[in-house]
Amino acid sequence: MYPPAQLAALVAVLDHGTFDAAAGALHVTPSAVSQRIRALETQVGQVLVTRSLPCRATEAGEVLAALGRQTALMGAEAAERLGGSSGVRRVAVAVNADSLATWFRDVFDAVATWEGVALELFVEDQAHSARLLRDGKVLAAVTSDAHPVQGCSVEAIGSLSYHPVVDASLLARAGGPDAVDWRGVPMVRFNEIDDLQHEWLRATGRPEPVVVHRVPTTVDFAEAVRRGLGWGMYLDGQLAAARRRGDDVVELSPGRPLVVPLYWQRWRISSELIGRLTGAVREAAPVSPASR
C-alpha cells in the first residue's frame, strides 16, 4: 500500500533529523528524499514530518514510521531466508537504566553471537518506555505498563525491588530513626520522571522534602546515597553490596521493599529476530515466568 522507498525515507528523516542527513544515509539526493516524503504525504492526505531542526513526526508520521521500521525488518529477514544478503538488521529496544545496569546485561551475551545484528538501546524510565513503542522508535521495550501499546503484545518478565536507604550519619543529624524531620532530609532522585521516592513517601504518609538532588546514573545514584547526599532507593543488589562492604546505611522499611513489576512489550509481527530477542530477555529477566 505504501511504497517501501517512501517509508524508508520517512524513517531516515526522523532518525537523522534532517533531509540532508537522511539523503546521505540512503545514498540519494536531498531532493529525492523530499519528493518521497511529499508523495507519501499526498497519498495519506496529512503532513507526516514537521520541517523543524530536528525534523519530528506528526501523529500520522509516527504511525507510518512504525510501519516503515517493521517493513525494513521483515524485508531483511525475507532476504536472509531466500539466501540473499540481509545487510545489518537494527534492533532498537527501550530499557530502563536500572535493568540495564543489572539483569539486562545478560542479553548482551546472546546478541553478541548474532551475525549482522546491531543492538540500539534507548534508556528510558520503565513507566515511560511505552512511548517509544508508540512513536515507532523501538521494536520492543522493558516497561512497567501491563497494558499493550496498540500493535504490540505484552508479557510479565519479573520485577525490581527497591529499598529506601539513608546514610546513618545523615539520619542522626535529622533527629534519629524515631524523630526524623522528613521535610528537612534531602532526597536523591534519578531524574525528573523518577517517582519511586515520592511513591514511598505517599505510601508512608511522610511529607515531601525541601531539597531534592538529581543524579541520573544507577551507580552514581547509589554512591550519592552512600555518601550522605540524601536518602534514596537501592535495588536488591545495591543493598546487598552495601552490607557486604559494611557501609553505614540504614534501610528505612526493613523487609518491605517497593516492588515494580516489569513487562516486555514487542511488536506483534512474525519476526525471527524479535523472537530470538524475546527469548534472550526471558532468560535474563530477574524472575522467570515459571517461578512467578
Q: Looking at this protein, which amino acid is placed at residue 179?
A: A
What is the grid cell recorded at 96?
A: 530502563
> What are 16-50's pLDDT values in tens digits?
999 999 999 999 999 999 999 999 999 999 999 99
Predicted pLDDT at 291: 39
Closest CA to 139 of 210, 224, 186, 71: 71
Peptide bond before residue 54 is cis, with ω within 30 degrees of 0: yes
Residue 30 lies in domain: 1-82
Alpha-helix runs per DSSP H in 154-195: 168-173
Angstrom distances, CA of residue 288 to CA of 27, 84, 113, 233, 260: 45, 37, 22, 24, 15
Predicted pLDDT at 73: 82
On whether the CB atoms of residues 162 and 221 are closer than 8 A, the answer is no
Q: What is the CATH number of the domain that holds 225?
A: 3.40.190.10
Boundary residue ending a domain (51, 82, 113): 82
86 band by pLDDT with thresholds 50, 70 and 90:
low
Is 148 within the bounds of a domain?
no
Is 167 within the bounds of a domain?
yes
**Cα 200 from Cα 166, distance rounded (Å):** 14
Question: Domain count of the chain?
Answer: 2
Tell me the residue length of the chain.
292
Is 225 within the bounds of a domain?
yes
Q: Dihedrals φ, ψ of 105, to 5°?
A: -60, -30
> What are 136-174's pLDDT values in tens digits?
788 999 998 899 988 899 999 999 999 999 999 999 998
Alpha-helix runs per DSSP H in 45-113: 59-81, 97-100, 105-111
The percent of residues in the chain predicted with pLDDT above 90, rounded, is 67
> What are 186-203's pLDDT values in tens digits?
999 999 888 999 999 999
